[in-house]
Amino acid sequence: MTALLQLSGVSKTFRVGAAGRQTDLRAVRDVSLDVHPGETLAVVGESGCGKTTLGRVMLRLTPPSAGTLRFDGVDITNIDAKARRELARDMQIVFQDPYSALNPRMKVADIIAEPLVNLGMSRAQVRERVARVMETVRLPIAFADRYPHAFSGGQRQRIGIARALAVEPRLIVCDEAVSALDVSVQAQILTLLKQIRADTGVALVFISHNLGVVRFLAHRVAVMYLGSVVEVADSEALFTAPRHPYTAALLDAIPEPDLSMRGKRRVIEGDIPSPLDPPPGCAFHRRCPLAGDICRKEPPPLEAKAAGHEAACHFAETELP
Ligand code: SF4
């Protein structure tokens, strides 16, 4: 299948620090990923792993420092502001925090309508489209004249999703879109996103620090560590037979009610290293129970370990402890 969005060797580096003592922070390192039409690709990793920066690069909200991006076969690596605005018709974002993402001084209808007005649609078209997407996200049309403060977190996130859907995009990046919500509300929003994807065929990139929440939604999962993708696979394969020790530890960190598993979980020791001073060799070696001499010297390439299953680990064939 032809990729809708194609990233090849994408990196993003920031200059950080005080004037005269600046240094490079490599937030995203050499990421190659495809997003196919109508699929949900989850991007998962601990806080600071670069997944949000990767999402912003995907949307071209920030330019990559290296590599190329193609959307529907068209190179979008170096586009001007006008082309970026046109790209917003095809690619949208749903933010993490439904409390700060919505302008408190705008009514719901105006929040949803804003991107449509920017596209130059007529008032009648805008009204019709706003009503349609409010119905899609299960918000009563009577809410259209209210302000965001009148709503719960889950309802606000539905408004954010409606705004993203209004322009009928082909891809939506959901950046930690359920992280700020209660568990029961998370389930409602995940179910809604799954239904929207099925009904509209929109592709989703679902960014989350929580591997547990993506299984319900994702066709494929990419796991990031210190700016790099260390494993990518179909959801079922990744959850049942992870090839990377980091993925295995993330899976074990998912809470589950089976008390017999207590004490049998693989726990990641130590903190995630600073991206300003990444370890040599495999970036995960200081926390990895399988690390050997080669891991301290040579970075493992991301390579196929099975059909549709890639991992960056020198010992990915070794049975995980
Ligand atoms: Fe662990 Fe070595 Fe694999 Fe890195 S390459 S994940 S340190 S076994």
In a 3-state reduction of DSSP, which class is residue 217?
Answer: coil
d(CA 210, CA 195): 21
Structure tokens at 199: 């009904």
Q: Which residue has the tokens 């009610």?
A: 257
**pLDDT in the model for residue 269:** 75
Using CA positions, which residue lies closest to atom 5 of ligand 1? Answer: 313
**pLDDT in the model for residue 19:** 83
In angstroms, how far is the first alpha carbon of the chain from the final one? 36
**pLDDT in the model for residue 193:** 96
Neighbours of 177 (CB within 10 A): 29
Between the CA of 274 and the centroid of ligand 1 the distance, in Å, is 18
Query: For the chain, which residues score pLDDT lower than 70?
Result: 256-267, 318-321
**pLDDT in the model for residue 258:** 55
The pLDDT tens digits for 179-233 are 888 888 999 999 999 999 999 999 999 999 999 889 999 999 999 999 999 999 9
- Ligand 1 neighbours (beta carbon < 6 A): 244-245, 282, 284-285, 288, 290-291, 295, 300, 313-315
* Residues 116, 168 contacting (CB under 8 angstroms): no
d(CA 51, CA 250): 15
**pLDDT in the model for residue 21:** 84
d(CA 226, CA 187): 29
Closest-CA residue to 265 (of 280, 254, 276, 277): 254
CA angle 17, 21, 27 (to 5 degrees): 40
**pLDDT in the model for residue 92:** 95
- The residue to mutate among 295, 298, 317, having the most atoms of ligand 1 within 8 angstroms of its beta carbon, is 295
Return the amino acid letter for 41: L
The pLDDT tens digits for 287-318 are 999 999 999 999 999 999 999 999 999 998 75
pTM of the shown model: 0.92
